[in-house]
Structure 1
Amino acid sequence: MSHRFISPRTASKQVLEAIVRIMGGANNIIVHGFNGIIIQWSAGCENMYGWMCDEAVGKVVDDLLSTQFPEPIEEIHRQLRENNSWQGEIIHRHKDGYDVYVTSRCMVVKPSDGEAVIIQTDNDISDLKRAESEVNAREAHLRSILATVPEAMIVIDERGLVTSFSTAAEKLFGIQADDICDRNISNLMPNPDRDAHDDYIARYIRTGERRIIGYGRVVTGQRADGSKFPMELHIGETTANGERIFTGFVRDLTGRYKIEEDLRQAQKMEAVGQLTGGIAHDFNNLLTVISGNLEMIEAKLAEGPLSPLLREVQEAAGDGAKLTEQLLAFGRRQPLNPTLADLVQLVSSFTDLLRRTLGENIDLKTVIVGSNHNVLVDSPQLQNALLNIALNARDAMPRGGSLTTEIKRVYLDADYAKMYPQVRTGNFVLISVTDTGVGMSDEVKEHAFEPFFTTKDVGSGTGLGLSMVYGFVKQSGGHLQLYSEVGRGTTIRIYLPWVQAAATKADIADTRSDSRDVLPGGTETVLVVEDDARVRRVAVARLSSMGYKVIEASNAQAALEVLAEDQTIALLFTDIVMPGGMTGHELAKEARIVRSDLKILFTSGYAEPGLGGREFATPGSWLRKPYTAKDLAVRVRELLD
């Protein structure tokens, strides 16, 4: 609203009436006094408000038209008396009851023969107001979209200047809209794209050659802090007021690239795990033959100069078995015996051993957060995993440092699972092991869990420690993360599924062989099923030397035929993974149909999840290759007795 000073004019009533008659047909003119009583009412007002002249004259104008002023009427009258004029936007009510938006201009005229009057000229702007309201609504809608759309949206003009910058774009690029609007979009690009951007637009406007416009492509963006990130860019074009404008939709690809990289890594680890697991399985068969024959030779050979050599070979075979155990752990094919355990008690009881192992120059700390840290886990395997982590930490701190173990319960939600597709949501117990060592480079972190990868000197490590930890955690239904930075140490986080109730199943007794010279034996009939002829011969020889009557079969089908013919068989000793289309597990099911009282002992070079001693094997009915004669003798008698 503006004010303009107009000098008072003097005119007779007749002159005013003539002015209204002459101009009133084309203009909406009302003449009234300061008291608001209408003196003159033009034909234009009749068309605009619906009131005829004889209906309006003599009425108070603000009552007749239900006037809504932008400011108090007293203030308007004051301005009229001081400036002789006023103008502004007001709202009148039509005779039919709807609002009429007008711009009103009032001027004070002092007739020579009477009281001062106000000549009011009104112009209908209702259509303009409606259009303005629609524009405001569309702008509000657009602002709402800009504020809520998950993908960043940026609008630029043909000079490359940013005209609109959404809320998502502010978060993505780390810059406020006010700081980037009216600046060149190239400020959000790294070189060489930054320097070349304006040429792209100019070339397109000049030649129509499209480089990005109308196509989706992956480019590199640059945040306000200078960091770069991959993004998917889609650009559309339109024309407004004769000028081109370009709208770009930007999607951050950082998360997708990370998920894809994690998936590739998981697939690679799975492939390597299958390979190493298969190798370990075959190698365990060889070790079974080697150690078994060595045992039988040692039993028949008197003590003499060859005895130390035999024991040394046996020890080497034992070391080979430990290596294959680590390979099986990485391939998630080791037999696990999970029992309910409180991780706090488990780690606390293990702390003294760790302290002696790590030495005095490493400060060992344990932090417990909360309570009820129950998990279903193979306790010895978990302690072995923690020991491997601790030994790696010790080697990373040659001058000493600190090793902190923290245990707490956490909940992994859907957002976390989106980042790591192999992770399921739910409650977990987290074991974080943090050292202050030399840390790992990105290249070392990429290969840290791969078998035989090591940064230690030749002969100082097998490279199987962390790979074993990885396989054990995955096989236990958990999740493993590695955080490390050169010069700042390493943190390894183990997530194990939390369980609420206490286990009712007793721990499996340790049936490892003792030092007795005489092996327990018997006279029962045992059916040995093994596809590897050398392994089968060793098993048959061992059992025969213990007094058992032994029948052998090379596959499951042959074993079923023997079982159908011989009702004296007391125990079935079978490998799990065999050729011929029937596994040891399937053989056991069929055998139990024929002989419900039959005792069954399983063995394998590896135990696949769902097969190995976890879902179908009863306590004591599992024997992992390579096994000793004492292991076999004790386990057979436990089942038969």
Structure 2
Amino acid sequence: MPHRFISPRTTSPEELGAIVRIMGGANNIIVQGFDGVITEWSAGCENMYGWMRDEAVGKAVDDLLATQFPESIEEIHRQLRENNSWQGEITHRHKDGYEVYVASRCMVVNLSDGEAVIVQTNNDISDLKLAQSEVNAREAHLRSILATVPEAMIVINERGIVISFSTAAEKLFGIQADDICGRNISNLMPNPDRDAHDGYLSRYIRTGERRIIGYGRVVTGQRADGSKFPMELHVGETTANGERIFTGFVRDLTSRYKIEEDLRQAQKMEAVGQLTGGIAHDFNNLLTVISGNLEMIEAKLPEGPLSLLLREAQDAAGDGAKLTEQLLAFGRRQPLNPTLADLGQLVSGFSDLLRRTLGENIDLKTVIVGSNHNVLVDSSQLQNALLNIALNARDAMPRGGSLTTEIKRVYLDADYAKMYPQVRTGDFVLISVTDTGVGMSDEVKEHAFEPFFTTKDVGSGTGLGLSMVYGFVKQSGGHLQLYSEVGRGTTIRIYLPWVQAAAAKIEVPDTRSDSRDVLPGGAETVLVVEDDARVRRVAVARLSSMGYKVIEVGNAQAALEILAEDPTIALLFTDIVMPGGMTGDELAKEARVMRSDLKILFTSGYAEPGLGGREFATPGSWLRKPYTAKDLAVRVRELLD
């Protein structure tokens, strides 16, 4: 604001000094020349700054008080010469060193001897500045809170008219503040709440009966586009200018409901996975008994019709073993052989097989974005998973269509992890498989990964395809997502952790062969620990036929007692999952304490010990049920030799 011109006053030095002495007790007056040297210093200034008159007079005021101006001293002097006055806020320093905030007013006074001086009156506004600073800090804090909290804020008057609508509320409801302010809050509600809202509000004002105000509750909101969403509403009440106003804080519950539903689904899948894994484990024990006895019978029979029947039964047992592999895959307990692989090269090489499998009426496309798509994965299991997805896509496109596989590097951030609690943040390689088929309904999507669930005709599928994919991806440390709409197709996204380098795992060659082969044997003592008596008898019979001295027990505690008594035991052959309070891996640890040179061979209907976190098991020191006699014979000799 420009300073208005004030006519300069004229007085004598004596009169000016008398005025300062008379009024200076209640006022803070400094008289200085244009050179800044102090000629008069009132008693008020002594109290305000701590400097006595004798200490101040003759000193340069700006040096004494370390003045901080809002503009240059030259500009202030120019205004004084042109307008004979200047006012503004400045900062001075007290004699004790602290700052004093001052509202200053300067006027030019012409003395009778022809000299012009500046009369400055100062008011200490430090307390006011402090109060303003606190108010500004609180306002800034409040603005920061309102800008960062996820809740939307809406203020209405006692007639239900919106008078304030925050930025978060604009985003949540999809409407600008200018478009809703001045209108009734019921426009943000679906019926029946929309029609009943004004009645709720007037009844509260009339009776004081609270239903929402002062309480938090879950209600339904309606966006500008008509879509509805669940929201948590908290309403507070106050009075401003004699009128009641109500402030509502709204939290969108859509993401929370989705997370809760995903968590329930994950818990259900985990429970079903444990159940199917347990069934597969018990089934593998049965297959071990069946195939083992068939194998021993076959070895003693001459070639003939009965041999053919036995081999057919063995083939059926083999099919049962493949079925349990799928169940173990869903239960995340299948044996994996993860090696370093570039998914771009792996899927590209697999495309020709998929093209032949899908037929000519399916347009197969593979898109690879970027390079260096390294992951640690069991390549054969991944190809099997992709084949299952592709076969499902083919069945969903009976008249043909398009199947597109895209591979690229992605980063899953904290926001994504909040939506999917089981997901960790980091770099992943994404395999996205999209078809143009009939799609899935919400009900089908909800059960798509459950074992034995299928939409195909009876006898057309086992319902284990997608469940196996789900279990394999989870066991590989990845994440699986399903997107589908009826009539628009389906997309399955597989996220696998990206790695820079890793050591390839040693592969154990397949040792399966005909039961009539000559099997390697020995004369060492083997301790067999197996809780299932039928499985134990098969193992004992096989080892005995190979020449070993066999000792059998049904639990880990009995095994420890025998190990303490018999130093001739060369190998411990133990099941991993056993009742009685001690598992096979715990037995192995105790046995190694007693006998550091003892060889240990594990067996299980689940996966290898290392995949369950049992790192003490070395490669080649385990057998997955069901196993053949040669599997057992070769593995025992590898350990003992």
- TM bin, normalised by shorter chain, reads 0.7 to 0.9
Deviates more, 1:90-99 or 1:286-295: 90-99
Give the alignment's TM-score, normalised by structure 1. 0.78
Secondary structure at 2:68 match in 1? coil
In 1: Cα distance, 2:98 partner to 2:563 partner: 100
Q: Tell which deviates more after alignment, 603-612 or 557-566.
A: 603-612
Q: Is the 8 A contact 1:332 1:609 kept in 2?
A: no
Stretches of structure 1 lacking an aligned partner (at least 5 in a row): none
Please show how residues 174-323 of structure 1 align to structure 2 within 5 Å: 174-323=174-323
Kindly state the Cα deviation for residue 279 of structure 1 after the two structures are TM-superposed. Answer: 1.2
Query: CA separation of 1:14/1:394 partners in 2, compared to 1, >3 Å: closer, same or farther?
Result: same
Cα distance, 1:499–1:133 mapped onto 2, change above 3 Å:
closer
Deviates more, 1:269-278 or 1:15-24: 15-24
Q: How does 1:521-532 map to 2 (within 5 A)?
A: 521-532=521-532
Q: For 2:541 and 2:44, locate their aligned partners in 1 and report how far apart those are by CA, in whole Å.
A: 123
Which shifted more, 231-240 or 102-111? Answer: 102-111
Query: Could you tell me how far 1:3 is from its partner in structure 2?
Result: 20
**Contact map agreement 1:365 1:405 (CA 8 A) in 2:** yes
Structure 1 pair 101–287 and aligned structure 2 pair: CA distance change class (3 A)? closer
Deviating more after overlay: 216-225 vs 327-336 = 327-336
Residue 69 to residue 226, structure 1, CA distance change in 2 (3 Å): farther
Shift of 1:174: 0.7
Asked if the contact 1:333/1:609 (under 8 Å) is kept, the reply is no
The Cα shift of 1:177 comes to 0.4
- Residue range with higher mean Cα deviation, 543-552 or 175-184: 543-552
CA contact (8 A) 1:229 1:252 kept: yes
1:460-499 equivalences in 2 (<5 Å): 460-499=460-499
Shift of 1:191: 0.8
Query: Take 1:612 and 1:12, find their aligned partners in 2: how far apart are those partners?
Result: 102
Query: C-alpha deviations, 1:186-207, integer Å up to 9, x for none?
Result: 1111111111111111111112
Label 1:448 to 1:15 Cα distance change in 2 as closer, same or farther (>3 A). same
Q: After TM superposition, give the deviation of residue 111 of structure 1 in Å.
A: 30
Q: 1:21 to 1:457 in 2, by over 3 A?
A: same
8 Å Cα contact 1:27-1:121 kept in structure 2: yes
Structure 2 equivalent of residue 128 of structure 1: 128
User: Does the C-alpha gap of structure 1 residues 120 and 161 become closer, same or farther in structure 2, counting only changes over 3 Å?
Assistant: farther
- Which digits, 9 at most, give the CA deviation of each residue in 1:384-424, with x for residues without a partner? 22221111111111122222222222221111111111111
Aligned CA distance change for structure 1 residues 65 and 487 (closer, same or farther; 3 Å)? same
Q: What is the rounded CA distance, in whole Å, between the counterparts of 1:631 and 1:29 in structure 2?
A: 107
1:348-381 CA distances to partner (integer Å, 9 max, x unpaired)?
Answer: 3322322222222222222222222222222222
1:586 Cα deviation after fit: 1.8
2 CA distance for matches of 1:636 and 1:99? 88
Secondary structure class of the residue paired with 1:203: helix
Shift of 1:603: 0.5
Give a deviation string over 1:4-36, Cα, whole Å, max 9, x none: 999999999999999999999999999999999
Q: 1:162 to 1:99 in 2, by over 3 A?
A: farther
**Are residues 303 and 11 of structure 1, via their aligned partners in 2, closer, same or farther at CA, if it must alter by over 3 Å?**
closer
CA contact (8 A) 2:511 2:630 kept: no
Relative distance call for 1:186 and 1:548 in structure 2 (3 A) is: same
The SS at the match of 2:611 is coil
Change (3 A) 1:105 1:359: same
Q: CA deviation at 1:153?
A: 0.3
8 Å contact 1:329–1:472 — kept in the other structure? yes
Partner residue in 1 for 2:520: 520
**Residues 184/612 of structure 1: CA separation in 2 closer, same or farther (3 Å cut):** closer
Deviation at 1:116, TM superposition (A): 28
- Tell me, which stretches of 5 or more residues in structure 2 are unaligned? none
What percentage of aligned pairs have identical amino acids?
91
* In structure 2, distance between residues paired with 1:565 and 1:40: 111
CA 1:115 to 1:478, structure 2 compared with 1: closer, same or farther past 3 Å?
Answer: closer
The offset of 1:341, in angstroms, is: 2.2
Give, in angstroms, the shift of residue 269 of structure 1: 1.0
- What TM-score comes out, normalization by structure 2 length? 0.78
Deviation at 1:97, TM superposition (A): 21
Please tell me whether the aligned partners of residues 585 and 614 of structure 2 are also in contact (alpha carbons under 8 angstroms): no
Q: CA shift at 1:120, angstroms?
A: 23
| Aligned CA distance change for structure 1 residues 553 and 178 (closer, same or farther; 3 Å) | same
Question: Structure 2 vs 1, CA of residues 362 and 613 (structure 1 numbering), >3 Å: closer, same or farther?
Answer: farther
**How far apart in 1 are the matches of 2:57 and 2:589?**
109
In the alignment, the residues of structure 1 paired with residue 565 and residue 11 of structure 2 have an alpha-carbon distance, to the nearest angstrom, of 137
Change beyond 3 A, Cα 1:180–1:96: farther
For 1:409, what is the secondary structure of its paired residue? strand
Residue 70 of structure 1: how far off its partner (Å): 19
> Bigger shift: 577-586 or 87-96?
87-96
Cα 1:200–1:53 change in 2 (3 A) is farther
Deviations 1:486-538 (A, max 9, x none): 11111111111222223165444344446873333333332211111100001
- Tell me if structure 2 keeps the 8 A contact 1:475–1:609: no
State which drifts further: 301-310 or 226-235. 301-310
Q: Residues 626, 145 of structure 1: CA spacing in aligned structure 2 closer, same or farther, 3 A cutoff?
A: closer
Structure 1 residues 539 and 30, CA, compared in 2 at 3 Å: closer, same or farther? closer
Deviations, residues 292-325 of structure 1 (Å, cap 9, x unaligned): 1111122222333333332222222222211211
CA deviation after TM superposition for structure 1 residue 264, in Å? 0.9
Is the partner of 1:334 in helix, strand or coil? coil
Tell me if the contact between 1:103 and 1:124 (Cα under 8 Å) persists in the aligned partners.
yes
Counterpart of 1:437 in 2: which secondary structure?
Answer: coil
C-alpha separation between the residues in 2 aligned to 1:639 and 1:13?
116
236-245 or 539-548, which moves further after superposition?
539-548
Q: Name the Cα RMSD after superposition.
A: 6.7
In 2, the alpha carbon distance for the partners of 1:493 and 1:281 equals 29
Change (3 A) 1:64 1:636: closer
Helix, strand or coil at the partner of 1:239: strand
Deviation at 1:58, TM superposition (A): 28
Q: 1:74 to 1:341 in 2, by over 3 A?
A: closer
> Which secondary structure state, in structure 2, belongs to the residue aligned with residue 610 of structure 1?
helix
Counterpart contact for 2:339–2:504, Cα < 8 Å = no
Q: In the superposition, relative to structure 1, how do residues 615 and 373 fare at CA in structure 2: closer, same or farther (>3 Å)?
A: farther
Q: Which moved more, 1:137-146 or 1:610-619?
A: 137-146
Give the superposition deviation at 1:185.
0.4
Contact 2:338/2:505 (<8 A) preserved: no
Q: 1:39 to 1:455 in 2, by over 3 A?
A: same
Q: Are the structure 2 counterparts of residues 296 and 67 from structure 1 closer, same or farther at C-alpha, using a change threshold of 3 Å?
A: closer
* CA pair 12-547 structure 1, distance change in 2 beyond 3 A: closer
